[in-house]
Amino acid sequence: MSLCLFPDTSILCIQVRKTGETAFPAADGTYFTLLQVRKERPMTAEYPNKPVSVDVLDTTLRDGAQAEGISFSVNDKFAVFEALADIGVRYVEAGNPGSNPKDREFFSTFIQTKDAGTRLCAFGSTKRKDKTCDEDAQIQSLLQSGTSTIVIFGKVWAMEVEEIIRATPDENIRMIADTISYFAVRGIEVIFDAEHYFEAAKSNREYAKACLLAAQNAGASCVCLCDTNGSTMPEDVAEYVAEVVALVDPDRCKVGIHCHNDSGVAVSNTLQAVLAGARHIQGTFNGIGERCGNANLATIIPNLQLKYGIHCVPEDRMDLLTPIARKIADIENMTLPGSAPYVGISAFAHKAGMHVDAIKKNTSTFEHVPPESVGNSRRFLVSEIAGKAAILELIRRIRPDIDKASPEVEQVLARVKQLEHDGYSFEGAEASQELLVCRELGIYRPFFDLERIAVNSEHPHIGPLSASSFIKIHVDGKTEVTAEEGDGPINAIDKALRKAMEVFYPELKKTRLSDYKVRVLNRHATASSVRVLIETTDGIRSWRTVGVSTDIISASYQALVDSLEYPLMTARLKKS
Amino acid sequence: MSLCLFPDTSILCIQVRKTGETAFPAADGTYFTLLQVRKERPMTAEYPNKPVSVDVLDTTLRDGAQAEGISFSVNDKFAVFEALADIGVRYVEAGNPGSNPKDREFFSTFIQTKDAGTRLCAFGSTKRKDKTCDEDAQIQSLLQSGTSTIVIFGKVWAMEVEEIIRATPDENIRMIADTISYFAVRGIEVIFDAEHYFEAAKSNREYAKACLLAAQNAGASCVCLCDTNGSTMPEDVAEYVAEVVALVDPDRCKVGIHCHNDSGVAVSNTLQAVLAGARHIQGTFNGIGERCGNANLATIIPNLQLKYGIHCVPEDRMDLLTPIARKIADIENMTLPGSAPYVGISAFAHKAGMHVDAIKKNTSTFEHVPPESVGNSRRFLVSEIAGKAAILELIRRIRPDIDKASPEVEQVLARVKQLEHDGYSFEGAEASQELLVCRELGIYRPFFDLERIAVNSEHPHIGPLSASSFIKIHVDGKTEVTAEEGDGPINAIDKALRKAMEVFYPELKKTRLSDYKVRVLNRHATASSVRVLIETTDGIRSWRTVGVSTDIISASYQALVDSLEYPLMTARLKKS
């Protein structure tokens, strides 16, 4: 038994000779058991105000929604909230409930169906100069959102007070104090976001500090310093944060930090702020946000928790970091860079032969933390597949007699690995995954044979529909030839395939497609591989299927076939 | 005339009333002239060893080539070298000349055709324990490379010396000293890369330092501290670098820094090292490299040069930063993230209406440096929320004489609102935006008339390609009828349209699609609206176009037409 201490972390591994729930394999046939020890990292510099824990506020649904190309539906917002709640983020900031009907719907639905384990926050600005809070429609919509925490942003930069909101310095301080106390006296927690704090402090430090004190005295639980344009360098962040930490009353009010990545140092700025005494951090999973994005929580959380031993999320959920980051990227329809620290698919991938040798001798030579500690995996190990337990569970659902030593498990794993190499992703396509398992176990029998499907699309077109599709299939010796028109080729093949299948399987009439997503996988322009994800519903259940091809028609067809065969397969398994 | 000083930079802008080569437009009809002043940034902390300049070593062709999916041909290597020489990087590290025939070809060809304005470096390790330098084939291949600078990496971590190379501590020091002096006495500059320096210093600081002194005394011009596994935090980097700066003789030997991004702080680590006295920095343009990549020089160079006034590349080449970063990404066939600091397409893109208003009043509110200072440009994402200010900005690019009271502004705004109401979105598609404005201003005249385009797709298909496309167009009374096959319907119409257009516009032959993205806009399954975003490049510039339709073929066709008409329209506007 040997001890492997990652020198830069508070993670301790004990090497053992047998596997188990919490053990992961080393190259030499032994196993590591991962112990995350709340041990102080040997800090070289002195940080007397370094906290033992920080509150995490994720603003993916608010600041993140400002990123180019991002748009969340109400359902997307629920899915992001649930993912963040799963990993145990304390606050989820989700936009301004008064700004549009979609946000209003989200906030009102949310209140009725969710508890406050992870707190939903509405976001808005200080009241208008010329209105009371009772008269101000924006303040009233925040109040009506019913959230137990509200984030209020306000001006603290004298130049902006004068030029942008055209108020006197005193008027602005009254706007801050009145707005915060309006909510605080009603028992609502208020976090104050001080916009452009660092510019503000550079040009008029006393005024900026006076605004923060007004916020604290009006009842804010946190004054959050925002580097709104992402200009500030880490050493300056540390200095200004330390000054504010000394200013506020720690029993009443935390200091927070909100960074943007325009200078590529948002992660570092956030860490420096925490070392200087900030106890509240804001950012977005995967760093999405306007311009160069917000501070990336998927990097900051493991840095704080594993490297500094500062608590951010429950310790036993740290291994959800990678799956949650990937799930959120999927909802955003964005491609998570392979190189993303901790959570990227390349983050623990080893290419150089020399490195592979070195890592077999001592994992800390080329890995700064064990990949398992953040739910990621090392890539050169043959046996290494993140979803092994999930696959086994999936197999067991169909064949409860199979255990992890059965050859079928390796066979299914090998097939999944091959398909993932080709660009498939079964994450979020559980119906296609089940069909794959059925095929590998020899249980699957096709529900139809395709002889030919053809689609034609013509521009300009006569009539409202641009595409037509021909299909010929065989089921149990019977043939069906039919056709359909559609709004575009995908719609045309969907309609033709259903029409033909429903002749033999009338139960499919109650199913319909409820979502269709396309993702381009690599860069060879229009000949890139595309992944098509389809969601289908029968009104009660819904299931998701996937297809991958260089040809969007072919990828869509694969996903469509799975979407129809899945309910048929499920029914057949129940009967047998 | 007014003065606009970006408070966090050493950049000075003077507002003037007329345009010119170096002026860029403000919204109110005035112009800014950009002056980059070598003015000290007001540092709050004390950095007595902060240098006035640093040497930049780019290792894209060596460490960058370790990134997943990256492979450089000999021609690619020349193209990367030339791009780096254009911006004035001092050293380009290009691999080990003995490792394979491709690298050997590159080094030998290079020597014959290039001078040493930017120095090419060969990279290799210390000699083998049991051979002299004369006997060691790897050392000989480095010598034969003929480069005037060689980078030698070696072990300084006592654990690695013992476990990986199985040498005694003294043997390792002799390997370092012998190898370096072998080249130094031959008049070749040697940079010593100390692998795993920070782990080494943590476990046995005196030994690590002894290795560095041996390198200096053997004649190394630089000892470069490598955070090989990307584990070290900025405050630790600062402390260890300061210690080494105090150790070496500054007249003989510089201290260098080489960081990896596994903790998301490689940029910050490099900056901290420089503030502590490092005078040599290593990294890669766009941060490519193994696992999470290397320190990103496209972020570090502008941070050092514009924010700290520390010289990295010639001042008058800073506006090449964005084109060079994009060119290198293009050679690598990688997608540069839109959010990349300084050089990304979204780095200076403004979406929220409030921000657009604020930036009109004072650019430093939401921009940390002027986009022109790094060769990038401000973009207002045209949408209803951004409103009139953004539209005016767009119109002015084509017709600088139009002011906000002109009827054309309302007319374009009305058209954009109508299109957005129909489900259109111009976000991130500035080429399509410009074409729209040209159409509304009556400047646009079509470059061709489409009579008919048809696409057929069939499954199963005979031969490798599943789709075929027919096209008939008219240009100036002449007709072209042609066809193409493709891997899927989009690829088929792209190829057919280009083939037909190139008959009349041969200049289009140098353009090609570089990215293709599909996004489903709402949730009506396969009859949803889709937005197709296409990026096209002529190898130097790139532009993005959009098409929206319920039919993916139709949306793709619109974006493809714009992608071909945009360069033609730009050329026509220049002529007129």
Strand duo B55-58 + B31-36: pairing = unpaired
Report mean pLDDT in 10-residue bins for chain A, 576 residues: 50 48 47 46 70 97 86 85 94 85 80 69 95 96 93 94 90 97 97 96 94 98 97 95 96 98 98 98 96 97 95 94 89 82 87 53 77 81 43 78 83 77 68 88 91 90 85 95 90 93 95 79 59 82 85 91 94 85
Distance CA B302, CA B304 (A): 5
| Nearest neighbour of A229 by CB, restricted to B287, B352, B367 | B367
How far from each other are the two terminal CA atoms of chain A, in whole angstroms? 49
Which residue, B3, B70, B464, is CA-closest to B289?
A: B70
Distance CA A274, CA A280 (A): 8
Contacts of B487 (CB under 8 A, 6+ apart): A527, A550, A551, B464, B465, B466, B467
Q: Is the dihedral of CA A144, A148, A151, A154 positive or negative?
A: positive
DSSP string, B259-315: EB-TTS-HHHHHHHHHHTT--EEEEBGGG--STT-B-BHHHHHHIIIIIS--BSS-G
> Three-class SS of residue B496?
helix
Which residue, B97, B92, B95, B46, is CA-closest to B66?
A: B95
CB A371 within 8 A of CB B306: no
* Cβ contact, residue pair A339, B292, below 8 Å: yes
Which residue, A139, A101, A135, is CA-closest to A122?
A: A139
Side by side, the strands of the sheet bearing A512-520 are A512-520, A530-537, A542-549
pLDDT (tens, 9 = 90+) of chain B, 576 residues, equals: 344 445 556 555 554 444 444 444 454 545 555 544 434 444 455 788 999 999 999 999 999 988 876 778 787 888 899 999 999 999 999 988 877 667 788 888 887 555 558 999 999 999 999 999 999 999 999 999 989 999 999 999 998 898 888 999 999 999 999 999 999 999 999 999 999 999 999 989 999 999 999 999 999 999 999 999 999 999 999 999 999 999 999 999 999 999 999 999 999 999 999 999 999 999 999 999 989 999 999 999 999 999 999 999 999 999 999 989 988 987 776 778 889 999 998 899 887 555 566 666 667 778 889 999 999 988 776 654 446 777 787 788 888 888 878 888 888 887 877 776 565 666 668 888 889 889 888 889 899 999 999 999 988 887 788 899 999 999 999 999 999 998 889 889 999 999 999 999 999 999 988 777 777 765 444 556 788 888 888 877 888 898 888 888 999 999 999 999 999 998 988 887
ipTM of the complex: 0.74
Min Cα distance A401 → chain B (Å) is: 38
Per-residue pLDDT, A420: 67
CB A537 within 8 A of CB A512: yes
Structure tokens belonging to residue B263: 């903790």
pLDDT 10s digits, B84-100: 999 999 999 998 887 76
Angle between helices B169-184 and B137-144 (to 10 degrees): 30
At CA A152, angle to CA A148 and CA A157, rounded to 5?
A: 160
CA dihedral A212, A213, A215, A221 (to 10 degrees): 90
* Cβ contact, residue pair A234, B381, below 8 Å: no
Number of helical (H) and strand (E) elements in chain B, helices listed first: 16, 20
CB A459 within 8 A of CB B561: no
| Nearest neighbour of A338 by CB, restricted to B7, B68, B340 | B68
| Nearest neighbour of B202 by CB, restricted to A7, A239, A552 | A7
| Nearest neighbour of A264 by CB, restricted to B233, B296, B549 | B296
How far from each other are the two terminal CA atoms of chain B, in whole angstroms? 32
pTM for this predicted structure: 0.74
Per-residue pLDDT, B265: 98
Chain B residues with beta carbon closer than 8 angstroms to that of A460: 450, 452
Q: What is the CA radius of gyration of chain B?
A: 28
Min Cα distance A408 → chain B (Å) is: 31
Chain A residues with beta carbon closer than 8 angstroms to that of B453: 458-459
Min Cα distance A439 → chain B (Å) is: 21
| Nearest neighbour of A526 by CB, restricted to B333, B460, B494 | B494
pLDDT 10s digits, A387-438: 566 677 778 878 888 887 888 888 888 887 777 666 666 666 778 888 988 9
User: What letter would DSSP give residue A248?
Assistant: S
Which chain B residue has its CA at the smallest distance from A47's CA? B235
* Cβ contact, residue pair A234, B525, below 8 Å: no
Contacts of B558 (CB under 8 A, 6+ apart): B532, B546, B547, B548, B549
Min Cα distance B258 → chain A (Å) is: 15
User: What letter would DSSP give residue B525?
Assistant: G
Which chain A residue has its CA at the smallest distance from B491's CA? A526
| Nearest neighbour of B523 by CB, restricted to A73, A357, A364 | A73
Alpha helices in B339-488 (DSSP H): 353-361, 388-398, 407-421, 430-440
* Cβ contact, residue pair A267, B268, below 8 Å: yes
Which residue, B554, B469, B461, B485, is CA-closest to A554?
A: B461
Amino acid at B34: L
pLDDT 10s digits, A194-227: 999 999 999 999 999 999 999 999 999 999 999 9
DSSP string, A155-224: E--HHHHHHTS---HHHHHHHHHHHHHHHHTTT-EEEEEEETHHHHHHHHHHHHHHHHHHHHHTT-SEEE
Phi, psi of A35 (to 5 degrees): -120, 125
Chain B residues with beta carbon closer than 8 angstroms to that of A262: 341-342, 347, 367-368
User: What letter would DSSP give residue A64?
Assistant: G
Chain A residues with beta carbon closer than 8 angstroms to that of B45: 235, 239
CB B95 within 8 A of CB B62: yes
Chain A residues with beta carbon closer than 8 angstroms to that of B367: 229, 262
Q: Is the dihedral of CA B8, B11, B17, B21 positive or negative?
A: negative
Identify the residue among B40, B281, B292, B380 best suited for mutation to test binding to A, counting A beta carbons within 10 A and taking the highest. Answer: B292
Distance CA B228, CA B194 (A): 9
Tell me the count of A-B CB pairs closer than 8 A: 367
Amino acid at A312: C
CB B3 within 8 A of CB B13: yes
Distance CA A337, CA B493 (A): 30
